[in-house]
Chain A
């Protein structure tokens, strides 16, 4: 049975869009497959790992409706390896998916579409809002790197999204550092607070482009749904209580200085050469007019860096995990950043002059 004939890129793009979430090893082997469904001149592509599901579609010739599932990885690799612009046809014969392009022939095993477990969508999507794709992409980029990874406090392995009148806020933390950002949106819904799983956040950021095309976000009690272009992404939410982020964002720190972002990145990267897997600490000594950054390791090696800053506050000698500092510097875009400090045992607050809605809090490290 004929499924589709199209130029390679017309098929490759939707397959790339959905297959990012396919797990290589899952207890349900069928989940390493994509669900292909042909109806009414449209071929839809769907992938899921039970937690999150992405679907998109491509135009195809009208014809008999059909559905099957086939290994995502192989399909992707084949299409990628075919020459750009090649004309590709797919047929379903005897439970095999036959792919033809030029003189290339592939015959892939399929599993029955009826056995494919799709995520059933909640009937209760109420709170929602629409923003431009690039605004959301930029918002996620400001905080997603601070999410925990496989933390036993499972609610940290995700991103807190708060929607309230006129505003969407996002917060991510791994318990040692926290990133907060907010965006004005048109929404007139009651306040909603949900935790979006890490994998969904990362996949979403990957799929969004730098355009003003709209993305619609809808929230149900246990699900969140993103619709943009031809793509629909539905994800379970993380149950649990996110820690009170307001409590840990310091206010009223008296000691602060501004510094060129690139300059600070340079100092930290050079000092970090002498750190190692087990010990990522750098020492920062802030004094009159200068910031000294140093790093010593167990082999008694030492790196020293110094930057001029406009500072006349308390002298502070404080340690940090250099990765936590480099992370934030890599993800904000402004020319300069501002660092505010309390004392050697209190968190540091990093802000940027161009976005007053961004805050990054990082705890010190004992050196």
Chain B
């Protein structure tokens, strides 16, 4: 057996994961629902504004997330609402309010930033934080981050501090909700090895299944195999990576800023449709949303694509490149409809459409700045801001 060894023991990386984020945000506004199984999903509220039990649901939505009480019944995110209904008919459902989630996401991230500025954004509800240069005992720093998040948002989160991102990510799951986990290099054997291999971020259902067949269940099982064995079964890179993971080796830096490559939005129709009016209306709305996303972030893109998924789940995409980067709703819309027009009419409506999406790629900040310059006219600010 190899001796446990962790690279770069000096680094101190935290992973922070908000607890049942969307559901908790909803509970902030509806404290009367605390302690009840609640599912975020469905399109809108009943006329009286009160959440209805899942037993009344009929449709094809998916669960965005759920409270811990609902999770106890086996309900989890991305599950179809009908399946969740079968598992927990008494759960109450609330539609998702992404504007509010984004608002609280910004709040919690700025609270973290007030204590530790090196943050890698991993989406709406999680971040990696590099604490290497933040003075103080790891437990105290993590505590103060948790307190700052709670003060700013009223929400709890789970944090793990570890020598690297791999272990921090695994660790933040260990003590949920409202958890605080410290993982030292010496904890590898006692804490990490007993965990199922699929807890490694990057071991998905497929890989996990193949590991099972090889009688590898835990991270410890993985550690007992030679790199050669893993490389033989999983290819050179993935096999090597699995072996490194099993020994807690991960030298990826905390990436505090990443250039986005594309922005996209998509929506599933309430019912599969061939109705051009509703398809067009949805496409217009999606273009508007993507334009707002881009505008907020100061990007413009040159490739506008549409994606269509038919009722048989077949996906067709068409891209359309424009001469100069764009980020306004009108230009995106024009390009998106032109892209859609590239599907021959016979093919376009060959089957009912289930989902439609818009994506703007080949993004650049320079493009957005050039647009600014080309637009010349900027009225100066009155109040000097």
Residues of chain B lying within 8 A (CB to CB) of residue A320: 379
Query: Roughly how many angstroms separate A242 CA and B126 CA in the complex, as a whole number?
Result: 35
Minimum Cβ distance to chain B for residue A102 (Å): 31
B382 and A175 contacting across the interface, CB-CB below 8 Å? yes
Residues of chain A lying within 8 A (CB to CB) of residue B46: 29
Main secondary structure, interface of B, reads loop
B377 and A319 contacting across the interface, CB-CB below 8 Å? yes
Query: Roughly how many angstroms separate A112 CA and B49 CA in the complex, as a whole number?
Result: 13
The CB with the most chain A CB atoms within 10 A, among B49, B97, B377, B378, is that of B377
Residues from 288 to 319 in B contacting A, C-beta threshold 8 Å:
none
Select from chain B the residue with minimum beta-carbon distance to A367.
B376
B45 and A175 contacting across the interface, CB-CB below 8 Å? no
Q: Does residue A220 face the partner (Cβ distance < 8 Å to B)?
A: no
Query: Roughly how many angstroms separate A112 CA and B381 CA in the complex, as a whole number?
Result: 49
Residues of chain A lying within 8 A (CB to CB) of residue B383: 175, 243, 248
Q: Does residue A106 face the partner (Cβ distance < 8 Å to B)?
A: no
Proximity bits, A100-117, B CB within 8 Å = 1, else 0: 000000000001100101
Query: Roughly how many angstroms separate A178 CA and B382 CA in the complex, as a whole number?
Result: 8
Residues of chain A lying within 8 A (CB to CB) of residue B31: none
A365 and B377 contacting across the interface, CB-CB below 8 Å? yes
A27-B45, A29-B44 are known contacts. Are A281 and B382 too (CB-CB below 8 A)? no
Q: Does residue B186 face the partner (Cβ distance < 8 Å to A)?
A: no
Q: Does residue A28 face the partner (Cβ distance < 8 Å to B)?
A: yes
B377 and A321 contacting across the interface, CB-CB below 8 Å? yes
Q: Does residue A257 face the partner (Cβ distance < 8 Å to B)?
A: no
Query: Roughly how many angstroms separate A367 CA and B378 CA in the complex, as a whole number?
Result: 8
A173-B382, A363-B381 are known contacts. Are A111 and B48 too (CB-CB below 8 A)? yes
Query: Roughly how many angstroms separate A173 CA and B385 CA in the complex, as a whole number?
Result: 14
Residues of chain A lying within 8 A (CB to CB) of residue B380: 176, 345, 363-366
Proximity bits, A342-367, B CB within 8 Å = 1, else 0: 00010100000000000001111111
The CB with the most chain A CB atoms within 10 A, among B46, B47, B376, is that of B47
B382 and A363 contacting across the interface, CB-CB below 8 Å? yes
Q: Does residue B350 face the partner (Cβ distance < 8 Å to A)?
A: no
Q: Does residue A198 face the partner (Cβ distance < 8 Å to B)?
A: no
Residues of chain B lying within 8 A (CB to CB) of residue A361: 382
Q: Does residue B58 face the partner (Cβ distance < 8 Å to A)?
A: no
B375 and A111 contacting across the interface, CB-CB below 8 Å? no
Among A117, A248, A321, A364, which residue has its beta carbon within 8 angstroms of that of B49? A117
Q: Does residue A177 face the partner (Cβ distance < 8 Å to B)?
A: yes
Residues of chain B lying within 8 A (CB to CB) of residue A280: 377
Minimum Cβ distance to chain B for residue A72 (Å): 14
Q: Does residue B374 face the partner (Cβ distance < 8 Å to A)?
A: yes
Q: Does residue A324 face the partner (Cβ distance < 8 Å to B)?
A: yes
A175 and B385 contacting across the interface, CB-CB below 8 Å? yes
Query: Roughly how many angstroms separate A163 CA and B383 CA in the complex, as a whole number?
Result: 23
Q: Does residue A279 face the partner (Cβ distance < 8 Å to B)?
A: yes
Q: Does residue A278 face the partner (Cβ distance < 8 Å to B)?
A: yes
Q: Does residue A30 face the partner (Cβ distance < 8 Å to B)?
A: yes
B377 and A279 contacting across the interface, CB-CB below 8 Å? yes
Among B45, B378, B382, which residue has its beta carbon within 8 angstroms of that of A28? B45
Minimum Cβ distance to chain A for residue B268 (Å): 19
B47 and A115 contacting across the interface, CB-CB below 8 Å? yes
A365 and B49 contacting across the interface, CB-CB below 8 Å? no
Select from chain A the residue with minimum beta-carbon distance to B49.
A28
Residues from 333 to 370 in B contacting A, C-beta threshold 8 Å:
none
Query: Roughly how many angstroms separate A364 CA and B378 CA in the complex, as a whole number?
Result: 8
Select from chain B the residue with minimum beta-carbon distance to A324.
B379
Minimum Cβ distance to chain A for residue B344 (Å): 32
B377 and A366 contacting across the interface, CB-CB below 8 Å? yes
Query: Roughly how many angstroms separate A165 CA and B39 CA in the complex, as a whole number?
Result: 55
Q: Does residue A230 face the partner (Cβ distance < 8 Å to B)?
A: no
Select from chain B the residue with minimum beta-carbon distance to A366.
B378
Query: Roughly how many angstroms separate A3 CA and B337 CA in the complex, as a whole number?
Result: 51
A364 and B379 contacting across the interface, CB-CB below 8 Å? yes
Q: Does residue A93 face the partner (Cβ distance < 8 Å to B)?
A: no
Among B44, B95, B376, which residue has its beta carbon within 8 angstroms of that of A279? B376
Proximity bits, A154-191, B CB within 8 Å = 1, else 0: 00000000000000000001011110000000000000
Q: Does residue A298 face the partner (Cβ distance < 8 Å to B)?
A: yes
Query: Roughly how many angstroms separate A363 CA and B380 CA in the complex, as a whole number?
Result: 6
Residues from 35 to 86 in B contacting A, C-beta threshold 8 Å:
44-49
Residues of chain B lying within 8 A (CB to CB) of residue A178: 382
Among A115, A176, A321, A365, which residue has its beta carbon within 8 angstroms of that of B48? A115
A278 and B378 contacting across the interface, CB-CB below 8 Å? no
Residues from 1 to 55 in A contacting B, C-beta threshold 8 Å:
27-30
Residues from 239 to 263 in B contacting A, C-beta threshold 8 Å:
none
Minimum Cβ distance to chain A for residue B143 (Å): 33
Query: Roughly how many angstroms separate A366 CA and B380 CA in the complex, as a whole number?
Result: 8
Select from chain A the residue with minimum beta-carbon distance to B296.
A152
Other A-B pairs, 11, CB within 8 Å; known A248-B382, A321-B379, A347-B382 = A27-B44, A27-B45, A27-B49, A27-B95, A28-B47, A28-B49, A175-B385, A176-B382, A278-B375, A365-B377, A366-B378
What are 28 A-B contacts defined by CB distance under 8 Å? A27-B45, A27-B95, A28-B47, A29-B44, A30-B48, A115-B48, A173-B382, A175-B382, A175-B385, A176-B379, A176-B380, A243-B383, A248-B383, A278-B375, A279-B375, A279-B376, A279-B377, A298-B374, A321-B379, A324-B379, A362-B379, A363-B379, A363-B380, A363-B381, A365-B378, A366-B376, A366-B377, A366-B380
Q: Nearest 8 A-B pairs (CB), nearest first?
A: A281-B377, A363-B380, A176-B379, A28-B49, A29-B47, A115-B48, A365-B379, A278-B375
